[in-house]
Amino acid sequence: MKAVVYRGARHLGVEEREPAAPGRGEVRISVAYTGICGTDLHIYHGDMDSRVGADAIIGHEMSGRIAALGEDVTGWSVGQPVTVLPTRWCGRCAACQRGHSHICHAMNFLGIDSPGAMQSSWNVPAELVLPLPEELPLDQGALVEPVAVAVHDVRRGQVASGDHVVVVGGGPIGVLIGTVAQGRGARVLLVEPDPARRAVAGEVGIEAVDPGAVDVAAFVADRTDGAGADVAFEVSGAAAGVGTAVEVLAARGRLVMVAIHPRPREVNLHRFFWRELELLGARLYQRDDMVEAIRLVASGAIPARQLISRVEPPEAATEAFTALEGGGVMKVLLDWQEGDR
């Protein structure tokens, strides 16, 4: 088997390893595709070395087929297409006891805290595996996890039909949030400075504006008869994005914080007071979100094919990461199917 190994900031290697047999309660998956996400970029930049050790196998967006079953595993068959819910919770902490296991205080996130999906053969606990429809192409199946993020975020924001929604940041998650929100009947505006990403948003039916060319708050006020947006999603991770997301909201509007901000940001709390705004965090997702994401991707409600910008072999992992951090692309996948390339 092959594995992409994180060896330190901006240093990846590709290694040949012997695949291990699945343990009790595990399945071995022949990975087909692994997606690279913003969290993976944070790891690549060395920002998460406190959780990710040297020679770690990262990655958590994936699709593949079951290759072998460990002892005591039933209900699965070899060759079955699957994806993985990459979160293991303790069941004992305060968050788990309150029914919030997806933000467990002792979370083991596969691909960060333990080996992930950037390997051609991956052993995972059977309870974390979800079936994919046989007819769903596996490259599109690799987008289920980021779609689950968007499903959870839109649920967190309580988006309803007729709502005016502003998404600040037009990367893959921002576009997916916009797509899921539109599927609920919301009117969506995406704010994104990168012209290539605005073009992709337009191709999938999402209106997008350049914050460098448009006064976004005035634009939103004009389209809402002065009221403002019902919900804003901050997905950019930039200080300016936070300011924009706060500024566009209507009275009692909801701001959903999706992006990972590596440092504290200045926030206009007076506007929160003045308009009685709400701030909601959205960190991960629950199993129901993954199930809904599979349904949306399989039904064609998510334009998965249009969001895949590049597919690279594992040997080109560094180039794949570089392409993603350079902007101008959406989803970048690693293809582990040597015989099919």
Q: Write the burial class of residue 213 (CB in 10 Å: 0-12 exposed, 13-18 middle, 19+ buried).
A: exposed
Name the pLDDT band for 341 (thresholds 50, 70, 90): very low
For the chain, the maximum distance between any two Cα atoms, rounded to a whole number of angstroms, is: 63
Strand ranges across the sheet with 278-281: 207-209, 187-191, 164-168, 229-234, 249-257, 278-281
Which whole number is the average pLDDT over 37-52?
Answer: 93
Catalytically annotated residue among 39, 87, 179, 244: 39
Listed in sequence order, the residues at least 6 apart from 107 whose beta carbon sits closer than 8 Å to its beta carbon are: 87, 88, 89, 90, 113
Catalytic-residue membership of 42: yes
Amino acid residing at 248: V
**For 34-51, what is the mean pLDDT?**
94
* Average pLDDT, integer, range 127-149: 98
Instruction: Tell me: pLDDT of 221 over 80.
Output: yes
Is the pLDDT confidence value at 215 over 70?
yes
- CA atoms of 223 and 220, how far apart (whole Å): 5
128 CB neighbour count, 10 Å cutoff:
18
For residue 326, what pLDDT band results from cuts at 50, 70 and 90? Answer: confident
Residues 6+ apart with CB under 8 A from 214: none
**Sequence-distant (≥ 6) Cβ neighbours of residue 239 within 8 angstroms:** 265, 266
The answer for 123, left when phi > 0, alpha when psi is -120 to 50, beta otherwise, is: beta
Region 77-86 average pLDDT: 98
What would the pLDDT profile of 9-22 be if each residue is shown by its tens digit?
Answer: 999 999 999 999 99
> Cα separation of 167 and 189, whole Å?
6
- Specify the residue for token string 């909201």: 249
Cβ neighbors of 300 (< 8 A, separation 6 or more) are none
pLDDT band at 339 (very low <50, low <70, confident <90, very high): low
What token pair was written down for 92? 């004992």
Q: How far is CA 188 from the centre of its chain?
A: 19
Q: What are phi and psi of 291, to 5 degrees?
A: -60, -45
The single residue of 11, 34, 42, 83 carrying the catalytic annotation is 42
Lowest-pLDDT range, 50-54, 86-90, 155-159, 223-227?
A: 50-54
Is the pLDDT at 97 greater than 50? The verdict is: yes
Mean pLDDT value across residues 304-317: 96
The stretch 105-110 carries a mean pLDDT of: 96
Half-sphere CA count of 274, side-chain side, radius 13 A: 8
Residue 63: per-residue pLDDT: 98
Q: Which two tokens stand for residue 237?
A: 């991770």
